[in-house]
Amino acid sequence: MSETVTITYGNQTIDLPIIIGTEGEKAIDISVLRKKTGLITLDPGYANTGSCLSSITYMNGESGILRYRGIPVEELAEKSIFTETAYLLINGELPTRNQLNHFSVLLNDNSLIHEDMQFFFQNFPRASHPMGILSSMVTALRSFYPELKITEEEELNLMVTRLLSKVRTLSAMSYKISRGHKVIYPRPDLTYCANFLNMMFDNPVKPHRIDETLVNALNVFWILHADHEQNCSTSTVRMVGSGRVNLYAAISAGVAALWGPLHGGANQSVIEMLERIHQSGGDVSKAIAQAKDKNHSFRLMGFGHRVYKTYDPRAVIMKKMCDNVLNKLCIHDPLLDIAKELEEAALKDDYFIEHNLYPNVDFYSGIVLRAMGIPTSMFTVMFAIGRLPGWIAQWKESLDDPNWRLSRPRQIYTGPTLRHYTPIDHR
């Protein structure tokens, strides 16, 4: 017999079923609550509300677990590559060699963008933030590459690979144009990650040398960011997609949602925080004291997480990658020195330990991206490229959901009660 929760309201009693996930998570199904009682629930920030059933990503914040389609992210970061992980998220299973080769060929074949799109880039003001440009350009893709029939598997795969490949090219192109440099086209002989680094850093007077350490670091960075359950941007993609808009529009909305400093912009905020500490003398103990002072405006970025109440499993992996990159490149950067000192101090401080304020993935990823030569303004764009497979997988899953409904949250109205219009001369 299935479990239920009984709610009593006035003289009425109703039983609400409990939904149990494959990992033992439980949720009260309140879909009939308003119909039977006239009540709705109020949950600001949706911290206690499940918006969907999903088989894509499992995370447990209390135990520090993150799995894509059941596979621990630790195994994927160690053994997989980004394109393989993207295939897993979107299609539900790891690809065979033939499937991965076909997927890679599609990515290569669709890596170029329409030449006319360069005119769009040229007309954005130079000071435009790359995320605003990226969101606009993803929407523009709909005009240059009309939406295909999403009911046809082959055409859906083509649309998916177009996005995965062209967004990467658009991102590198936006950086080159912002610097006034010659645009570098993708090469068919390079892997997905190596191609991006080459498009970013190659130039006619100094050809880019492919460094496998950095290629591997980028693979790991994008794998760790590929999906993260129903976060702000993913929920946005699902909500916008529930209106049955085209995939380009849904992804563009996800890019816009990721832009904010409390979500995708967190790794950029880490570097900006380190710069402020450096400019004020580099006193880490002072920064720690200010972070613990509730009345001080200073906030320690890159520590703690909305969901994880223990160490962020992605941070453990990214820390190893961070140490590997810094050692390989022999980088001596005052900001990176401050970061390592800040990390050591926070991990020994009782206040941070008691409040579960461990370094999160944003803390280390910002350091890695800086070490790789990625400009701070591009950090959130890098996050967006990594999150694309998750957004696409979530959009596709909601599209296939037989219980699909247009997203339409309710509210509790707190404004004025009925009042009537007053003519302007009597106000």
Show which residues are catalytic.
305, 362
Q: Which of 64, 70, 63 is nearest to 21 (CA)?
A: 70
Contact 366, 319 (CB under 8 A): no
> What element of type H or E holds 9?
strand 4-9
Of 279, 355, 305, the closest CA to residue 66 belongs to 305
Positive/negative CA dihedral, 71, 252, 162, 241: positive
Enumerate the H helices of 113-231 as residue ranges.
117-123, 130-144, 153-178, 192-201, 212-224
> Cβ contacts of residue 350 below 8 Å, gap of 6+?
none
Residues making up the chain, counted from first to last: 427
Cβ–Cβ contacts within 10 Å for residue 300, how many? 20
CB 366 within 8 A of CB 268: yes
Closest by CA to 304, choosing from 275, 335, 339, 347, is 347
Helix, strand, coil % in the chain, rounded to nearest 5: 55, 5, 40
Comparing C-alpha atoms, which of 167, 361, 365 is closest to residue 252? 167
Does residue 326 contact residue 372 with C-beta atoms inside 8 Å? no
Neighbours of 270 (CB within 10 A): 29
Cα–Cα distance measured from residue 17 to residue 7, given in angstroms and rounded to the nearest whole number: 11
Can you tell me the distance from the alpha carbon of 368 to that of 318, in angstroms, rounded to the nearest whole number? 8
Residue that has been written with the tokens 């390989």 in this structure: 328
Alpha-carbon distance of 88 to 335, in angstroms, equals 36
